Amino acid sequence: MADFFQTQAWWDFQRELGEEVVHASGDGWHYFGRMVKDAVGTYLYLPYGPVVASEQALDDAVEHAKVQARELGAYRLLLEPSLPITSAQAEARFATQRLGFQPSRSQIVHLAQSEEDIIKGMSTTRRKQHRGAERKGMTFSESRDRGDYETGVRLLRESGEAKSFFVRDEEYFDKFRVALFEPGIAKIFVGRFEGEIHIVAFVIDDADTRYYLYVGRDLSNNSLQISAPLISHMILDAKAQGLKEFDLFGISASDDVEDDMTGFTVFKRTFGGETVQYAGTWEVPLKVGRYAARRVIDTVEKLRHPRNSE
């Protein structure tokens, strides 16, 4: 399964952000990635890549990436093979799985079913919120307005400050606007209550899928409960646009162990859909000495922060 985050448009945006982008393709495979610096050197990271059609294509892509990574001075290669590669197939090839990078699972709503069945798949609370939103004075729509975009960034930043989660800087969203929003690749959806903006969500559409990225919400009226009906609106709008899936983009790695994403996982699953397991993030050592130093640092971090470390 290819992912938007392994497409030319996304990596053109990454170049605008100053990333050192690496790209290659072959028979049944391609990858984009970036060179990343850490405490012991540089490594090549392929988020949601390589995109491959088979196990043989995976082997070919990885061999190519290893050569390219060594030429660029990388001490390790981090990769996240696309479906149809499974975590078991990846484990048979790579010794070490790493956490703390892209989510290894996502919640995806399939849009081939009828609108009625999509709504039936939601929890009772979400169905009630969806059906009662208009009656309560809420309206939802896509917007191409720059002012609405800037309002969304402001609300996202305020939400991050209030809830202590990381939000990218102004330069990121300025370049996101120019590279992705203005060409129509990224979209914003605005939720209004009695005509006033209370929430703005950022999404990206590719040929088949709508990806839910960011949301900024006015926190002055928490009882309004406008987030859920905005999401249900975007799901049904994606279906109306002819897309095949709505990707709620990232949930906890496991249902058995609580982590920082557990609350988001519970929330996202109230919109129905299916939990999709990806192959996960895997590591290939390239320079023995520096890789050993990296593992020592990781071990120390585990001892200091057992909950938050890999």
Render 192-205 in DSSP notation, one character per residue: EETTEEEEEEEEEE
What's residue 310's pLDDT?
Answer: 44
Is the same domain home to 216 and 259?
yes
Q: Are residues 77 and 181 in the same domain?
A: no
pLDDT of 28-87, one tens digit each? 999 999 999 998 999 999 999 999 999 999 999 999 999 999 999 999 999 999 999 999
* Percentage above 90 pLDDT, the chain: 81
124-132 vs 227-240: helix axis angle to the nearest 10?
Answer: 80
User: Which pair of tokens denotes residue 71?
Assistant: 């030429």
pLDDT in the model for residue 202? 98
Please tell me the pTM assigned to this model: 0.91
Same domain, 113 and 254: yes
Query: At 115, is the secondary structure helix, strand, or coil?
Result: helix
Q: What would the pLDDT profile of 250-262 be if each residue is shown by its tens digit?
A: 999 888 888 888 8
When pLDDT is cut at 50, 70 and 90, the band that residue 295 belongs to is confident
pLDDT of residue 10: 96
How many domains does the chain divide into? 2
What are the C-alpha distances in Å from 191 to residues 31, 128, 145, 262, 271?
36, 17, 14, 25, 18
Strand residue runs (E) in 99-195: 105-110, 138-143, 186-193
Look at 20 and 303; give whichever has higher pLDDT: 20
At 181, which CATH number?
3.40.630.30
DSSP state of 251: B
In this predicted structure, the answer to whether residue 268 has a pLDDT above a threshold of 60 is yes
As a dihedral over the C-alpha atoms of residue 54, residue 57, residue 62, residue 65, rounded to 10 degrees, the angle is -130
Residue-number span of the structural domain to which 248 is assigned:
106-275
The predicted structure's pLDDT at residue 260 = 81
Q: Is residue 309 part of a domain?
A: no
- Establish if 177 belongs to a structural domain: yes
Q: Does one domain contain both 97 and 115? A: no
φ, ψ dihedrals at 77, nearest 5°: -120, 130
Confirm whether 251 is domain-assigned: yes
Shared domain for 85 and 140, answered yes or no, is no
* pLDDT higher than 80, residue 2: no
CA–CA dist 10, 100 (Å, integer): 21
Q: For 62, left (φ over 0), alpha (ψ -120 to 50), or beta?
A: alpha
Spatial separation of the C-alpha atoms in residues 171 and 150, rounded to whole Å: 12
Provide the mean pLDDT of the chain.
93
Q: Give the DSSP letter string of 46-111.
A: ETT--EESSHHHHHHHHHHHHHHHHHTT-SEEEE-PPTTS-HHHHHTT-SEEE-SSS-SEEEEEE-
pLDDT for the residue 309: 45
Whether omega for the bond prior to residue 229 falls within 30 degrees of 0, making it cis, is: no
CA angle at 107 for the pair 101 and 110, rounded to the nearest 5°: 135
- Look at 86-90, 119-123, 195-199, 260-264 and tell me which has the smallest mean pLDDT: 260-264
pLDDT at 1 over 80: no
- CA dist 216 and 73 (Å) reads 39
297 shares its domain with 270: no
In a domain, 10, yes or no: yes
